[in-house]
Amino acid sequence: MPDATLHGTVVQLRPAGREDIRALVQIRRTPEVFRSWRGGDDLEAAVEEDFAEVDVVAFVIELDDRVVGWIQWDAEDEPDYRHANMDIYVDPAVHGRGVCTDAVRTLARHLIVDHGHHRVVIDPAADNTAAIRCYRKVGFRPVGIMRRYERGNDGTWHDNLLMELLADELIDEH
């Protein structure tokens, strides 16, 4: 059963549906998002692939009843290593308005409170200072650099920063 709509202070996270593909493709086309999210020349196919990922729970981020991004999570369910992982992209047109911070905080709270996770991880590009700043506001801490972790749309390998949030470190504004 998919997760229900989650309500943050600024945004709401609604389970993603095929009716959101057009808006998500437009966001993925922006240079800031395209640089960090796979997709190549066929962004519609790339967004379709996101919907096909097994064991991933996906939401669109809505601001003022408009889709402004995507946030997803999955989990490692092996009891001795159990934790959740999240990933996000946000339309650059709404950067600086607290959208990313509120979306990440809302999902992290949901994963900790409703799903019982004690640890959540996220792995932004190491040079994505805005994302790293956003995640720190929620309580994520850097763990270390994952070297040549992800291949970008330019075909080269890029470093990512592994960040983690322990349940008692969540900076919650609710």
2-51 confidence digits (pLDDT tens): 579 999 999 999 999 999 999 999 999 999 998 888 777 788 888 998 98
CA 158 – CA 15 distance, rounded (Å)? 30
The answer to whether residues 108 and 102 touch, using CB atoms and an 8 Å cutoff, is no
The per-residue pLDDT for range 151-165, each reduced to its tens digit, is 887 889 999 999 999
123-159 pLDDT, tens digit each: 999 999 999 999 999 999 999 999 999 988 788 999 9
Superfamily for domain range 6-169 = Gcn5-related N-acetyltransferase (GNAT) (3.40.630.30)
Task: Determine if the pTM surpasses 0.85.
Answer: yes
Sign of CA dihedral 118, 122, 114, 51: negative
**Does 1 score more than 50 pLDDT?**
no
pLDDT of residue 135: 98
Distance between CA 30 and CA 102 in Å, rounded?
Answer: 21
Checking if the pLDDT of 173 tops 80, the result is no
pLDDT tens digits along 42-96: 888 889 989 888 899 999 999 999 999 999 999 999 999 999 999 999 999 999 9
User: What residues does each domain of the chain span?
Assistant: 6-169
Q: Which of 44, 60, 52, 150 is nearest to 107 (CA)?
A: 60
